[in-house]
């Protein structure tokens, strides 16, 4: 299913240089934080996509190997850097293993929720542990489910609305599933729709997944700059450290 979503059209329209996910005020702190966490070691990015984070992190001096299921997304990455600069292995982030031992594995922009079963998400943590030296870190960036916005009888929330774009999520609270709908439009009557299914995860559940894989929570912040995580935070950056006894 994910391969069908992240097809050639999605890959070609994914990059938005200088804005959105690629805005310097968002991407800069992301890269700097990951570089500090990697230290003198190497990193693996699960779901590397078009290289939004991996390419600037490599330029920052941290060697990055990627894992991704989507050939079109990786082809878009290849239009920017070659295999020697950022090697990529095609495969599932819950099971595919990159060679070597690393100090950092990271998963950004809610991507762990693309795994649609709890068992797969647990396996993702275990796969991260396989890549890391003792004391290495696994970083997960994830949104906080907005169920408090759902009154009885309502199944959808609008999480972003701006000129030319509306984003809304429809929730299945029984199965802990959500479908994100991305509507893009202009002054004509035509609109484009991209839908992606996710399994949402509460922070406490994420922490339990980490424990099952031998990690302990080191820090949790509301964003990459280190802002305090509170009950009102819409997302979090959680850093898990692989216990030395593993």
The string of DSSP letters for 88-125 reads EEES-TTT---SS-EEEEEE-TTGGGGS-SHHHHHHHH
Q: What percent of the chain has pLDDT over 90?
A: 68
Average pLDDT of 173-194? 90
Between CA 167 and CA 184 the distance in angstroms is: 9
- Reduced to 3 DSSP states, what percent helix, strand and coil does the chain have, rounded to the nearest 5? 30, 30, 40
What pLDDT, on a 0 to 100 scale, did the predictor assign at position 16? 60
Print burial letters for 27-39: b (CB count within 10 Å at least 16), e (below 16): beebbebbbebbe
Residue 228 DSSP one-character state: B
Compute the distance between CA of residue 229 and CA of residue 111 in angstroms, rounded to an integer. Answer: 20
Question: Which of 12-21, 23-32, 63-72 has the weakest average pLDDT?
Answer: 12-21
Fold type of domain 2-144+202-242: Rossmann fold (3.40.50)
Q: Which of 135-139, 160-164, 219-223 has the lowest mean pLDDT?
A: 160-164
Sign for the pseudo-dihedral over CA of 102, 93, 130, 237: positive
pLDDT band of 149, cuts 50, 70, 90:
confident
Q: How many residues does the chain have?
A: 246
Q: pLDDT category, 155, cuts 50, 70, 90?
A: confident
Nearest to 242 by CA among 52, 41, 8: 41
First vs last Cα of the chain: how many Å apart?
34
| Average pLDDT value for residue range 169-177 | 92
Distances (CA, A) of 97 to 19, 102, 126: 32, 12, 11
Read off the pLDDT of each residue in 210-228 and give the average, rounded to a whole number: 97
Contact criterion met (CB below 8 Å) for 137 and 239: yes
| Cα separation, 144 vs 131, whole angstroms | 27
Mean pLDDT, range 38-64, rounded to an integer: 95
Higher-pLDDT residue of 116, 17: 116
pLDDT at 26: 85
Pairing of strands 235-242, 215-221: antiparallel
**What's the predicted TM-score (pTM) here?**
0.89
Q: How far is residue 155's CA from residue 16's CA, in Å, rounded to a whole number?
A: 30
Beta pairing class for 102-107 and 88-90: unpaired
Residue 246: the pLDDT is: 46
Instruction: Please give the average per-residue pLDDT across 152-177, as a whole number.
Output: 90
Predicted confidence band of residue 18 (pLDDT cuts 50, 70, 90):
low
pLDDT band (50, 70, 90) for residue 20? low
Q: What is the pLDDT of residue 42?
A: 98
């Amino acid at each position: 299913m994910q391969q069908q979503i992240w097809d050639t059209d999605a890959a070609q329209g994914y990059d938005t240089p200088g804005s959105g996910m690629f805005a310097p005020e968002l991407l800069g702190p992301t890269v700097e934080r990951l570089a500090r966490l990697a230290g003198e070691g190497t990193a693996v990015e699960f779901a590397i996509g078009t290289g939004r984070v991996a390419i600037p992190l490599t330029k920052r001096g941290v060697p990055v190997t990627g894992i991704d299921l989507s050939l079109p997304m990786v082809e878009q990455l290849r239009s920017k850097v070659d295999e020697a600069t950022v090697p990529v292995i095609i495969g599932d982030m819950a099971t595919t293993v990159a060679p070597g031992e690393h100090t950092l594995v990271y998963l950004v922009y809610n991507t762990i929720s693309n795994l649609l079963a709890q068992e797969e998400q647990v396996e993702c943590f275990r796969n991260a542990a396989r890549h890391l030296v003792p004391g290495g870190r696994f970083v997960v960036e994830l949104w906080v489910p907005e169920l408090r916005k759902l009154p009885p009888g309502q199944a959808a929330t609008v999480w972003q609305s701006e000129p030319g774009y509306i984003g809304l999520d429809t929730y299945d609270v029984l199965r802990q599933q959500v479908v994100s709908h991305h509507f893009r439009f202009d002054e004509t009557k035509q609109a484009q729709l991209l839908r992606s299914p996710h399994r949402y995860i509460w922070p406490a559940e994420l922490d339990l997944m980490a424990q099952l894989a031998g990690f302990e929570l080191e820090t949790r912040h509301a964003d990459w700059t280190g802002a305090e995580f509170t009950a009102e935070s819409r997302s979090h950056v959680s850093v898990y450290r692989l216990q030395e006894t593993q």
